Structures are given as C-alpha cells and as structure tokens.
C-alpha cells in the first residue's frame, strides 16, 4: 500500500505549508475508529490546471495504524483559500468561502434530514464534511474523498450525454425542492444567499474586468465562423448595459417560485457513481461557493450552457427542462410543499425571462469550462491586463470546443430574443 505511486494532478501547485500530518491527527481521531497513529502522509494537488479557479484543492492520502497494528488508507479533499493571488480580492468580495462553510455546516445536512423525516428517504447531496475551520487567514473544509467510493467526473470537454443529464437534473430537482421547503418552514436564508457579485460596490471592479475582455472577445467572435456574425456583434452590450442586465437577473421576485441554487452546477462539480452495468447509480454535487436564493432558471441555464454535450445541448433543451420539472413536482409533493408549484409552462416562461443567465454563462464561464487543461489556466491569467493576458483570453475564447458550442448556442439565444436588453439610450 505505501509503495503505490501517487500522482499529483498539478505539479505546479504549491501545497500550503500547514497541510501536514499534525493538522490531521484530531480529524483522524474523530473520523477513523481505533485510530492509533499516522504511518505515511502524502499531499498532492487534487485538480489539474484549469479545473478549479477559485480555491486550492489538495488530496491528502494517509496510511494510518489502527488496532492490532493493521494499516488502513484514508483519503480526504482539503479545500482552502488561494494563498497568494491577484484574484483573491475578487474571490473574497463574492463571499465564496463563507457561503460554502455555511452550506456544509448547516443547510446541506438539514436538506438531507427533510427527506429522512418526511418520507423516510436517504438522499445525499454532497460529500461528507469531516472538518471545518475558520481563521483570520482562511476558511478550510476537509471532506471525504469521493473517489474512494468510485465516484468520478465526466470529461468536461465532451459534456453530459442524455443519461447523465437526466440523472443530474433529477438530483438538482431534489436539492431545489428541499431548499424551497426549508425556506417555507424556517423563513428566509441568511442575507449572503441573496447577494450576488452584481451590486454597486463591485460595479467599478466588474467594469474594469469587462474592459479587459470586450475587444478580445469581439475579435474572437469573428473566428467562430458564425453566419452573419455582425448581427451578434450588434447585440454586444457596453459594460454598464451588461451589468444592469445581470443586476436584473439576480433580483429575487418573491411572487415567483424560488429555490436555493447550487450556483456553480457544471460537470466538474458533479460526481457520478455507476452500477455493474455502467449506468449512473448516484449523483453528488460538490462546490457550493456560489449558492444563491432565486429562480431555478439560474442553475438550469448554467448547467445546460456549460456542461450538456454538444449534440443535445439545443436539440434536447425543452426535454431537459421537462424532466427537471416532472421530478421537481414529485419532490415538492413528497415534501408537502404548501405554496404554489410552477407548471411546466410557467417554468419555460421563467427560463425565457431569465435567459440572460445563458448569455452571462456563455460569455464569462464557458470559455474556462471548455478550455483544455493548460498549465497557465488560472484566475490570475484570466484577469491579467496587457498583451499576455489578452493572449490567454483569446486562446480561451477561440478554443475548438468553445467555438463549436457557441456556433450552436448563439443562434439559439438570438432566435429566442434573449440578447435583447434595455440599451443605455433607452434609459434616457
């Protein structure tokens, strides 16, 4: 066991110095029955470059001695703040780690408990979190390593086929239903789950980022081989226009059906376990840093735009929404939700109303999702000013997978009128 070669997913990642044996002794005493001592300790990067932009992810493999001198291997995923990064201020302004800490400490266990208490079902939404620490320097989560239970991700560049996306939207419906019932029974969530990045405090910071991307993005659009590219370029908004539309999308309408969105529901944050016939048996979500109360359209647009396979992304769009709605209806009824449940027609109308989530996701998130693993893929390079940053951004905006996806998605969004927003001249 100790002789097995352990391969780091990212040799360039600097493992924080505090991630060492001593940190895990108390955790192991609580988590491993009959724990005696640590025989061997190894810390390696858990994700490859370009797989995670907002945190440090470390896989810790520990050979522990238990009773009768037996040796048992345990593995954890350690998630913590970026130690040194130009992007850390941006990440901190979004409350990513405080949100996720609260999700694991409180809300996720309570959502799972709802299914136990009301219908006697065991439903798991997330990995088991064995340790949470908050210090002035960082917030740290230590979670079970789902790979030890044979969970794995699909290839983000190929995306989810119909069997996988069906399993995901059903699990998403279970999560959303529990969040809605919890809010009905307990009242509003904490204020940070109503906040988004799009607020007046962050406007200047966003406009600065937008200006870094705008010209490069427009230049890249001409490389996508879109028919009549000028009609899409004419819809390209100025920074304030884009910002105002995102503010509108993030506004919560209390008269609508709302849920706690996962917020970052894409393929790398979804893990699958399979049965002996290689069919999806279980789905578990990870990374709850962007969770937000609001329309479920946010998660649905984000998932479909980023992570559904190219051949079904548009072709099966309506069917995917129908599958989600059918299971949402079932779960809300099981959990005895007393408020009005949206009809399928109302959900489709909501998808159109909040359709700019698709534009925001396609323009801002999908370039990173569909960029093949690259040693330079990190948040600092994505936000770096000057020619070097422009070169990296252009590379992301013109990667083959991204161009193929946009050739499908942009006409789809255009034909639905989703690019049509209130222009600056219309405010006057």
Whose CA is closest to 91, among 135, 54, 136?
Answer: 54
Show the domain range for 273.
150-416
- pLDDT of 46 above 60: yes
- The alpha carbons of the chain give a radius of gyration, in whole angstroms, of 22
Burial of 34 (0-12, 13-18, 19+ CB in 10 A): exposed
Q: What is the rounded distance in angstroms from the CA atom of residue 105 to the CA atom of residue 291?
A: 14
- pLDDT of 359 above 60: yes
Domain for residue 31, yes or no? no
Residue 162 in tokens:
């119909």
Q: What is the rounded distance in angstroms from the CA atom of residue 324 to the CA atom of residue 177?
A: 11
Domain for residue 166, yes or no? yes
Q: Which residues contact 98 (CB under 8 A, 6 or more apart)?
A: 139, 192
Paired with 64 in beta bridges are 38, 72
CB 154 within 8 A of CB 160: yes
Q: What is the mean pLDDT of residues 350-367?
A: 96
Which pLDDT score is estimated for 7?
A: 61
Residue 256 in tokens:
């609508």
Residue 253 in tokens:
């309408």
Note the helical H segments in 234-316. Answer: 239-250, 297-307, 310-313
Q: What is the mean pLDDT of residues 123-142?
A: 94
Per the model's pLDDT, the better-predicted residue between 205 and 417 turns out to be 417
Domain for residue 84, yes or no? no
Q: Write down the mean pLDDT value for the chain.
A: 90
Number of domains in the chain: 1
pLDDT band at 1 (very low <50, low <70, confident <90, very high): very low
Q: Return the H-helix or E-strand segment holding 61.
A: strand 56-65
Least confidently predicted of 225-234, 370-379, 389-398: 370-379
Looking at the chain, the whole-number percentage of residues with pLDDT higher than 70 is 90
Q: Which residues contact 362 (CB under 8 A, 6 or more apart)?
A: 305, 405, 406, 409, 410, 413
CB 421 within 8 A of CB 245: yes
Q: What is the rounded distance in angstroms from the CA atom of residue 342 to the CA atom of residue 325?
A: 9
Distance of CA 284 to the CA centre of its chain: 12
Least confidently predicted of 14-23, 175-184, 408-417: 14-23
Domain for residue 277, yes or no? yes
Q: What's the distance, Cα to Cα, between the start and end of the chain in Å?
A: 70
E strands, 238-291, are: 259-261, 270-274, 280-285
For the domain that residue 193 is a member of, what is the CATH number? Answer: 3.90.1200
Which pLDDT score is estimated for 427?
A: 44
Domain for residue 220, yes or no? yes
Diameter of the chain measured on Cα atoms? 79
Alpha carbon dihedral 282, 314, 374, 99, in 10-degree steps, equals -60
Distance of CA 362 to the CA centre of its chain: 14
Main-chain dihedrals φ then ψ at residue 294, nearest 5 degrees: 165, -165
List, for residues 80-119, the tens digit of each pLDDT value.
987 655 555 556 666 788 999 999 999 999 999 999 999 9
Domain for residue 141, yes or no? no
The DSSP line for 346-375 is: HHHHHHHHTTHHHHHHHHHTHHHHTSPP-T
List, for residues 189-214, the tens digit of each pLDDT value.
999 999 888 888 888 888 888 888 89
Long-range contacts of 311-320 (CB under 8 A, 24+ apart): 312/161, 312/162, 312/165, 313/159, 313/405, 313/408, 313/409, 314/408, 314/409, 314/412, 316/162, 316/165, 317/412, 318/348, 320/165, 320/166, 320/169
Which pLDDT score is estimated for 181?
A: 98
Per the model's pLDDT, the better-predicted residue between 90 and 142 turns out to be 142
CB 294 within 8 A of CB 179: no
Q: What is the mean pLDDT of residues 162-167?
A: 98
- pLDDT of 343 above 70: yes
C-beta atoms surrounding 308 within 10 Å: 26
Residue 193 in tokens:
């789950």
Q: What is the rounded distance in angstroms from the CA atom of residue 369 to the CA atom of residue 312?
A: 17
List, for residues 376-415, the tens digit of each pLDDT value.
666 667 778 788 888 999 999 999 999 999 999 999 999 9
Domain for residue 81, yes or no? no
Q: What is the mean pLDDT of residues 338-342?
A: 96
Q: What is the mean pLDDT of residues 275-285?
A: 96
- pLDDT of 73 above 80: yes
Distance of CA 135 to the CA centre of its chain: 24
- pLDDT of 38 above 90: yes
Residue 413 in tokens:
């969004």
Domain for residue 112, yes or no? no
Per the model's pLDDT, the better-predicted residue between 327 and 6 turns out to be 327
Q: What is the rounded distance in angstroms from the CA atom of residue 55 to the CA atom of residue 80?
A: 6
- pLDDT of 428 above 60: no
Paired with 60 in beta bridges are 43, 76
Which pLDDT score is estimated for 197?
A: 80
Predicted TM-score of the model (pTM):
0.92
Q: What is the mean pLDDT of residues 64-80?
A: 93
């Amino acid at each position: 066991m100790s002789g097995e070669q352990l391969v780091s997913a990212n040799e360039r990642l600097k493992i924080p110095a505090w991630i060492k044996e001593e940190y895990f002794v108390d955790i192991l005493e609580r988590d491993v029955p009959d724990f005696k001592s640590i025989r061997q300790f190894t810390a390696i990067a858990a994700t490859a470059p370009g797989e995670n932009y907002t945190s440090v992810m470390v896989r810790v493999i520990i050979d522990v001695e238990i009773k009768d001198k037996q040796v048992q291997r345990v593995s954890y995923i350690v998630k913590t703040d970026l130690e040194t990064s130009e992007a850390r201020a941006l990440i901190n302004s979004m409350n990513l780690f405080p949100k996720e800490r609260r999700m694991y400490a409180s809300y996720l266990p309570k959502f799972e408990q709802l299914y136990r208490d009301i219908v006697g079902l065991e439903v798991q939404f997330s990995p088991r979190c064995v340790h949470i620490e908050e210090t002035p320097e960082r917030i740290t989560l230590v979670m079970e390593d789902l790979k030890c239970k044979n969970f794995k991700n699909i290839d983000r560049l190929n995306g989810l086929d119909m069997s996988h996306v069906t399993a995901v939207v059903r699990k998403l419906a279970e999560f959303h239903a529990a969040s809605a019932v919890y809010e009905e029974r307990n009242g509003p969530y904490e204020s940070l789950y109503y906040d988004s990045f799009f607020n007046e405090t962050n406007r200047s910071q966003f406009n600065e980022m937008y200006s870094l991307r705008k010209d490069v993005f427009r230049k890249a659009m001409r490389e996508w081989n879109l028919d009549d590219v000028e009609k899409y370029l004419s819809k390209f908004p100025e920074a304030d226009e884009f910002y105002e539309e995102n503010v509108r999308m993030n506004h919560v309408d209390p008269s609508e059906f709302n849920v706690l969105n996962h917020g970052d529901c894409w393929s790398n944050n979804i893990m699958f376990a399979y049965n002996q016939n290689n069919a999806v048996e279980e789905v578990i979500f990870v990374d709850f840093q962007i969770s937000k109360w609001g329309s479920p359209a946010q998660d649905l647009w984000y998932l479909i735009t980023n992570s559904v396979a190219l051949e079904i992304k548009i072709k099966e769009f309506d069917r995917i929404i129908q599958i989600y709605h059918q299971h949402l209806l079932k779960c809300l009824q099981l959990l005895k939700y007393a408020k009005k449940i949206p009809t399928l027609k109302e959900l489709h109308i909501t998808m159109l109303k909040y359709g700019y989530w698709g534009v925001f996701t396609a323009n801002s998130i999908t370039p990173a999702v569909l960029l093949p693993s690259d040693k330079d893929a990190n948040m600092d390079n994505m936000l770096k000013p000057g020619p070097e940053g422009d070169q990296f951004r252009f590379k992301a905006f013109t990667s083959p997978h991204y161009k193929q996806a946009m050739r499908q998605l942009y006409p789809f969004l255009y034909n639905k009128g989703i690019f049509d927003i209130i222009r600056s001249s219309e405010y006057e």
